[in-house]
């Protein structure tokens, strides 16, 4: 919670004026009752009883006898009341605006920081955490913190300012009655906080029961054919009825407790009302004139009673919200406390550019504590070489390639790029030299041109600031065989694509991703099953763009269809995390080993689909 408050304190001028105006609102709300009291005593009864407004000099002292004097006093009271209402609405506007905008700003900062931190965490973190859970931290938890800052904080000011204001005023009129009126305040506060902590587990259990009931209903409706075919109507009806009953009973129980509690609170307010009526009334009757309570102040006590107790009842709710906000804060700041498992070394290697030599030296790798998925891999790749990776699904081909940009760290051995261990690089410098074109490339919401320029800072800036599409983007698209279809889109390069824009086919997405990689001009290219799932004509286009992409670069090509790596300089065949064979397409076929088996299996499969 302290960390949360720090985010709000960054806006301390706004926050402190917000708090001050909020206190003023509460004070302004207490004035009309004082005006009523003064009107009764002085205007109606014409008494000289001073009262608070006279004490602070807003009304003239002494008895008011003449009609003219009473009228003038009434006018003053009208002005005071009007000023109080005006003050109240102005300060209310200012305080709400200032406090809510502080909460919004804190929310924005927190979300930006959390997101920025999240995206820097290593891939291992993302493997171990569900997308839904992370989204709920970035969304619901951060929203809940904003709401807490926004509403519960104001509640706190409200309770403290109102109760202290009323205490001071009532005390100045009659300490004895003030004690009677204030006695229930701590009782109500503690009782409602305690009640809520106590009833919350019951509500939790109700929520669980209702969710069980719902999934039972959902299951039964989805499986209605099974119920019918086995004639299990009665069995299911009884099962549903049992859960319905449980839900009903728990609700009724909670209802009884809740209503009982609030009725108890009301009763306490009633007791205080009666006590003040009796003690105050008796004083008025029995005491000498100057010791007794004035009629107006007597009324004042009743006017303030409600003001006093209603915010107290909210204390329970605030305590509850505080609990919720606390657990949200734990999740959000827990995320912020995660240190990336993969970090740059102290004095990182920051080469101008990457040449493209890769070496795997006796590499073993396991995801977390699981059994290794790569074992004893040694492989030396020269710049410009095209390496095809073949092997069954799950053999470890993708994993091997992901070690090059250091998405994961090896468990044993080392991966070197240009003769330097990848762990010694500044990641940014290493990753700038490596591009991955995946099977279903992700396109961001934005224009086609933005998606192509994505990897290159300068081009992206040029695109954002200028009004024409930079040549680099067109050239890259041209090389990737994407220029034609992009130009044919409704707004050409300016067409919105991605989630909310024009939908592109798999082949088109791939060509955009290839253009993106070409523009970035990396020394090392990783192609992951880049040509599955597209028709033959597109495949031809893609092949052409791919061969342009991998010309003069080091390429690691993982392909489902072996024909795509047929022309590779070298093909590495993997099985169960190990390299079992390597050579060119021809030599591997003549060796009649694992590759030859994969190849003939593929030919068989192809002819089977062709039939």
Please, which residue, 404 or 448, has the CB nearer to ligand ADP?
Answer: 404
Residue 531 CB, nearest approach to ligand ADP (Å): 15
The residue with tokens 């720090």 is: 6
Binders of ligand ADP in range 119-178 (CB under 6 A): 127
Cα–Cα distance list, 236 to 80, 175, 218, 336 (Å): 70, 67, 12, 48
C-alpha span between 488 and 161 (Å, rounded): 66
Cβ contact 527:556 at 8 Å: yes
Nearest to 580 by CA among 572, 588, 591: 572
Taking the complex as a whole, the smallest distance from the CB of residue 399 to ligand ADP amounts, in Å, to 3
Cβ atoms < 10 Å from Cβ of 538:
19
Burial class (CB in 10 A: 0-12, 13-18, 19+), 348: middle
What are 279's two structure tokens? 């003690």
Cα distance between residue 523 and residue 384, in whole Å: 8
Contact 492, 486 (CB under 8 A): yes
Q: Which range, of 11-19, 253-261, 389-397, 454-462, touches ligand ADP by CB under 6 A?
A: 389-397
Continuous segment of H or E residues that includes residue 573:
strand 570-575
Per-position x/- string for 337-376, each x denoting binding to ligand ADP as judged by CB under 6 A, each - no binding: ------------------------------x-----x---
Residue closer to ligand ADP (CB basis): 386 or 398: 398
Binding residues with ligand ADP: total (CB under 6 A): 11
328 binds ligand ADP, rule: CB under 6 A:
no
Q: How far is the CB of 441 from ligand ADP (least distance, A)?
A: 17
Any residues with CB less than 8 A from the CB of 85 and at least 6 apart, and which? 28, 32
Which residue lies nearer to ligand ADP by CB, 342 or 395? 395
What CA–CA distances, in Å, run from 363 to 432, 433, 557?
Answer: 23, 21, 19
| Least Å from the CB of residue 154 to ligand ADP | 45
Nearer Cβ to ligand ADP, position 260 or 394?
A: 394
**Strands of the 358-365 sheet, one edge to the other:** 374-381, 358-365, 412-417, 420-421
Options 106-114, 392-400, 453-461, 469-477: segment touching ligand ADP (CB under 6 A): 392-400
Q: Judge whether 570 and 385 are in contact, CB under 8 Å.
A: yes
CB closer to ligand ADP out of 80 and 373:
373
- C-beta of 396: minimal distance to ligand ADP in Å? 4
Residue 393 near ligand ADP by CB under 6 A: yes
Least distance (Å) from ligand ADP to the CB of residue 430? 20
> In residues, how long is the chain?
611
Tokens representing 81 are 């009341």
CB of 323 to ligand ADP, least distance (A): 35
CB of 436 to ligand ADP, least distance (A): 13
Q: Considering beta carbons, is residue 80 or 389 the nearer one to ligand ADP? A: 389
Segment near ligand ADP (CB under 6 A), from 333-341, 393-401, 411-419, 547-555?
A: 393-401
Q: Per CB under 6 A, does 24 bind ligand ADP? A: no
Q: Which is nearer to ligand ADP, 186 or 394 (CB)?
A: 394
- Tell me the closest approach of the beta carbon of residue 380 to ligand ADP, in angstroms: 20
By C-alpha distance, which of 535, 174, 558 is closest to 390? Answer: 558
Residue closer to ligand ADP by CB (options 399, 447) is 399
Smaller CB separation from ligand ADP, 397 or 474 = 397
Tell me which residues in 394-433 interact with ligand ADP (CB under 6 A): 394-399
- Can you tell me the distance from the alpha carbon of 5 to that of 152, in angstroms, rounded to the nearest whole number? 13
- Which residues of the shown chain bind ligand ADP in the complex (CB under 6 A)? 127, 367, 373, 391, 393-399
């Amino acid at each position: 919670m302290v960390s949360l408050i720090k985010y709000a304190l960054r806006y301390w001028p706004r926050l402190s004026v917000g708090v001050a105006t909020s206190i003023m609102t509460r004070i302004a709300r207490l004035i009309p009752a004082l005006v009523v009291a003064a009107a009764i005593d002085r205007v109606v009864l014409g008494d000289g009883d001073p009262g608070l407004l006279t004490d602070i000099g807003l009304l003239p002292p002494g008895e008011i006898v003449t009609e003219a004097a009473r009228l003038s006093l009434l006018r003053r009271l009208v002005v005071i009341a009007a000023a109080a209402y005006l003050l109240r609405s102005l300060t209310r506007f200012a305080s709400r605006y200032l406090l809510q905008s502080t909460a919004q700003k804190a929310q924005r900062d927190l979300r930006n920081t959390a997101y920025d931190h999240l995206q820097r965490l290593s891939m291992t973190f993302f493997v171990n955490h569900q997308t839904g859970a992370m989204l709920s931290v970035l969304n619901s938890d951060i929203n809940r913190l904003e709401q807490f800052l926004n509403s519960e904080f104001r509640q706190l000011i409200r309770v403290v300012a109102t109760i202290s204001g009323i205490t001071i005023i009532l005390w100045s009129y009659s300490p004895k009655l003030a004690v009677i009126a204030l006695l229930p305040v701590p009782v109500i506060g503690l009782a409602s906080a305690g009640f809520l902590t106590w009833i919350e587990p019951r509500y939790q259990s109700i929520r669980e029961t209702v969710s069980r009931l719902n999934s039972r209903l959902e299951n039964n409706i989805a499986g209605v054919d099974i119920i019918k075919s086995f004639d299990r109507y009665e069995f299911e009806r009884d099962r549903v009825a049992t859960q319905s009953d449980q839900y009903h009973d728990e609700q009724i129980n909670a209802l009884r407790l809740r209503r009982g509690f609030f009725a108890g609170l009301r009763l306490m307010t009633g007791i205080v009302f009666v006590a003040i009526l009796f003690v105050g009334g008796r004083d008025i009757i029995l005491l000498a004139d100057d010791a007794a309570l004035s009629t107006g102040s007597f009324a004042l006590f009743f006017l303030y009673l409600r003001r006093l107790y209603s915010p107290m009842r909210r204390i329970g709710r605030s305590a509850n919200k505080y609990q919720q906000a606390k657990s949200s804060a734990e999740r959000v700041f827990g995320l912020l406390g995660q240190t990336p498992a993969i970090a740059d070394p102290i004095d990182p290697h920051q080469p101008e550019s990457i040449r493209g030599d890769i070496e795997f030296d006796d590499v073993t790798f396991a995801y977390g504590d699981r059994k290794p998925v790569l074992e004893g891999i040694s492989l030396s790749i020269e710049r410009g070489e095209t390496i095809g990776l073949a092997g069954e699904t799950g053999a470890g081909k993708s994993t091997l390639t992901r070690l090059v940009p250091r998405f994961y760290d090896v468990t044993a051995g080392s991966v070197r790029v240009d003769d330097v261990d990848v762990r010694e690089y500044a990641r940014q410098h290493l990753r700038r030299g490596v591009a991955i074109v995946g099977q279903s490339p992700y396109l961001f919401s934005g224009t086609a041109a933005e998606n192509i320029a994505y990897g290159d800072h300068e081009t992206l800036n040029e695109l954002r600031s200028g009004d024409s599409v930079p040549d680099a983007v067109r050239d890259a698209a041209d090389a990737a065989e994407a220029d034609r279809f992009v130009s044919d889109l409704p707004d050409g390069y300016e067409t919105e694509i991605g989630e909310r824009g024009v939908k592109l086919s798999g082949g088109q997405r791939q060509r955009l991703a290839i253009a993106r990689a070409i523009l970035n001009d990396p020394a090392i290219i990783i192609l992951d099953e880049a040509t599955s799932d597209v028709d033959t004509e597109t495949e031809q286009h893609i092949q052409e763009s791919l061969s342009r992409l991998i010309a003069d670069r080091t390429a690691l090509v993982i392909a489902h269809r072996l024909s795509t790596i047929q022309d590779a300089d070298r093909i590495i065949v993997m099985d169960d995390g190990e390299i079992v064979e390597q050579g060119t397409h021809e030599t591997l076929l003549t060796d009649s080993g694992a590759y030859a088996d994969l190849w003939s299996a593929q030919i068989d499969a192809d002819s089977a689909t062709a039939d």
